[in-house]
Amino acid sequence: MRERPHRYRRHASIESVLEELGCNGLFSAEGAAWAPQRKLLMHSLSIPHIKAFYPSLKATTERLYPRWQRAAAHGNVVEMTDDLKRYTVDVTSALAFGEDPRTLKKHRGVIQEHLALIFPMLTNRINAPFPYWRYVKLPRDCELDRSLIEAHGYVRNMMSRARERMRDDPSELPSHLLEAMLVMRDAPESDVTDDQVAANVLTLLLAGEDTTANSVAWTLLNVAADSALQQRLFDSSRGVLGSAPVCPDFTSLKQLDLPEAVCTETGRLCPVVAINSFEPLEDVCLDDITLPVGTKMFFLNRAATLDARNFSNPLQFDPDRWLHDGSRPRTTHDSRAYRQFGAGPRVCPGRHLAAVEMRLALSMLMANFSIRMAVNPSTIREMNAFTMVLSAMPVHLSARTT
Ligand code: HEM
């Protein structure tokens, strides 16, 4: 993982498939194209930027509250994966593109409907034995084409609006990633194209949506079945939130360790990124095994996190193993074996944002509601749709004050 992008790359099919879909941004960029894009995106996802953006993050989290209050009052089932995807898209768009699509306030016709089709088709095409869609289009390929037209139209409109805002106030410095990319694009003799800007907007929308939303949704399987844990989450979240529905400021977030530990422990058992892929760019030798250039390699995250040499009682769901508060004897705990965000130069640049979103969303849910599953948990399936996602996460909510 450390020897990227010079000695290893992601599977070559990832870049070619994403290029064809107009989404060849930071995730799939390789070689010399990778570093400048990485630098640009890192800034907009850095901790100081997220801290400055906190009021907007809080406002987006507050939108979930009346939505869930209504569902609790009427006894309606909440499909958590949908609500959380709306949440993560609203957050990523406002932070990185300076536009809040307020999908949490809308009924239908939201961008998520199209992103939801793109992700599973990526997996299909990346793993296809040959690019059949160049010769014959199946109904799912036609559907993908329609979703891509919608998603690209959405992104191009957002780019035009950002350009208009910049024209109206040329003295302002870029205040978010999209403006920074457009400044680079429009500079004299720039070699950045509109297509590259659009590809990175789509990359962030895709990378920030399903991953974080499903990470929080997976936790609910464990939380719903454990009333003692719900009580602990209520007590610790209420202690930080006071009488507010949502964590009031960025500094207080640091005290919300239990909600993040619950998400991290869930990710150890049910990782949303279960597989990382690599391909050597030259012949390499690993543990006496020679791998020729271009060998397809898979790094299975769960093998290491379920190994008792790295984590004691590895099959047990135990969020406290991440808290290290000294209240119980130290057991085997090698956090280096947990590679949910990857590692090395290509480690996930959205991990700080994801951690903040997890703390905010789960603490808000647990401080205000108790939850129970609306279906038998055994009917919920794990599906590989580029990330490991849940087939559904329907829950009943009840308002709680104690
Ligand atoms: C729980 C949530 C998330 C998980 C588990 C996750 C996981 C990952 C993983 C495993 C990688 C590959 C790392 C590697 O190759 O070493 C990655 C890359 C990436 N992630 Fe995330 N991610 C999450 C959230 C986000 C968010 C919120 C964003 C942005 C809004 C984001 C943007 C990206 C980008 C742009 C890359 C490509 C980085 C590169 O190749 O240089 N991710 N993520």
* Domain assignment present for 2: no
- Tell me the CA–centroid distance for residue 81 and ligand 1, in Å: 19
Count structural domains, the chain: 1
**Which pair of tokens denotes residue 220?**
């609910």
Q: Which has the closest alpha carbon to 266: 215, 211, 339, 195?
A: 215
Running DSSP on this structure, what letter comes out for residue 112? H
27 lines ligand 1 (CB under 6 A): yes
Q: How many residues does the chain have?
A: 402
Residue 400 in domain: no
Interatomic CA distance for residues 392 and 335, integer angstroms: 29
Helical spans, DSSP H, in 99-138: 112-126
Contacts of 116 (CB under 8 A, 6+ apart): 85
Amino acid 123: pLDDT: 87
Q: Which residues pair with 383 in a beta bridge?
A: 389
pLDDT per residue rounded down to tens, the chain (402 residues): 999 999 999 999 999 999 999 999 999 999 999 998 898 888 788 898 899 889 999 999 999 999 999 999 999 999 999 999 999 999 999 888 888 888 888 877 678 888 888 888 998 999 999 999 999 999 999 999 999 999 999 999 999 999 998 888 887 778 788 988 898 888 888 888 899 999 999 999 999 988 999 999 999 999 999 999 999 999 999 999 999 999 999 999 999 999 999 999 999 999 999 999 999 999 999 999 999 999 999 999 999 999 999 999 999 999 999 997 767 777 899 999 999 999 999 999 999 999 999 999 999 999 999 999 999 999 999 998 888 999 999 999 999 988
Does 364 reside within a domain?
yes
Ranges of beta strands (E only) in 238-386 are 275-280, 284-286, 289-291, 297-300, 369-373, 382-385
Element (H, E) at 396: strand 394-399
40 lines ligand 1 (CB under 6 A): no
- Tell me which residue has its CA closest to atom 42 in ligand 1: 350
CATH number at residue 184: 1.10.630.10
Which atom in ligand 1 lies closest to the alpha carbon of residue 344?
A: 16
Mutation test residue for ligand 1: of 53, 84, 348, the one with most atoms within 8 Å of CB: 348
Instruction: Please report whether residue 3 resides in a domain.
Output: no
CA atoms within 13 A on the CB side of 199: 21
**Predicted TM-score (pTM) of this structure:** 0.94
pLDDT of residue 346: 97
Residue nearest to atom 23 of ligand 1 (CA): 211
Residue 245 lies in a domain: yes
Nearest CA to ligand 1 atom 19: 348
pLDDT of residue 109: 65
Contacts with 360 (C-beta within 8 Å, 6 or more apart), sequence order: 57, 58, 61, 246, 247, 253, 256
Handedness of CA 152, 153, 155, 159 (dihedral sign): positive
Instruction: Please give the pLDDT value at position 180.
Output: 86
Domain-located, residue 97: yes
Atom number, ligand 1, closest to the C-alpha of residue 272: 5
Residue 220's domain spans which residues? 8-394
pLDDT at 79: 96
Report the pLDDT value the prediction gives residue 301, as an integer from 0 to 100.
Answer: 94
What pLDDT score does 110 carry? 76
* Cβ(305) – ligand 1 distance below 6 Å: no
